[in-house]
Amino acid sequence: MKSNYISTYLGNRFFPLEPRIDDIDIEDIAHGLAYQCRFNGQTRTFYSVAQHSVFVADLVPDELKPAALLHDAAEAYLGDMVKPLKLLLPEFSRIEDRVTEIIGERFGVDLQHHPVTKQADLIALATEKRDLMPFSTEDWSSLTGVEPVDDRLMPLQPEQAKRVFLEMFERLFP
């Protein structure tokens, strides 16, 4: 199993089936999230998971911002799998949960989905659907009763999203 690792931006090796706290690096996370497009790339323009994470963190109270910023951090190592596939692959969800747990330990934050963070994630999702997926006119059951924010999203390029993510991280984790 020595070759079952993911090479990271910084040249680290990350073993998804045996994640180790020492293999977690915030720059690898920021870079990986900044270069992944939400919704499997099925958007009108590129919009990164890093920008989504900052958006969610901006929607929650200060005490929840660290967890909100890192709520999708495992996706930097495992990818942003679309929900229909994730539901079909329960083993993937177990791996993702373990990676999330290790990331939480690394940064000293509880990454269990707090109800307020989950609601902020849904508000972000509703906003992203409205602004990034104009041809997706069907209702999404997970968004029933959830209203998007008034402001329109302004998608960032990957390097900008990475910078904004790292700046917020530095403020929240001095």
The 10s digit of each residue's pLDDT in 76-107 is: 999 988 888 888 999 999 999 999 999 999 99
Q: Which fold, 23-172?
A: Hypothetical protein af1432 (1.10.3210)
- pLDDT value of position 84: 87
How far apart (Å, rounded) are the C-alpha atoms in residues 16 and 2?
A: 12
- Angle at Cα 77 formed by Cα 169 and Cα 114, nearest 5°? 55
How far apart (Å, rounded) are the C-alpha atoms in residues 140 and 163?
A: 31
Helix axis angle for 26-34 and 158-172, nearest 10°, is 140
The contacts of residue 29 (CB under 8 Å, 6+ apart) are: 70, 73, 76, 77, 103
Note the pLDDT tens digit of each residue in 42-68: 999 999 999 999 999 999 999 999 999
How far apart (Å, rounded) are the C-alpha atoms in residues 47 and 85?
A: 20
How far apart (Å, rounded) are the C-alpha atoms in residues 93 and 90?
A: 5
How far apart (Å, rounded) are the C-alpha atoms in residues 65 and 42?
A: 28
Mean pLDDT of the chain, nearest integer: 95
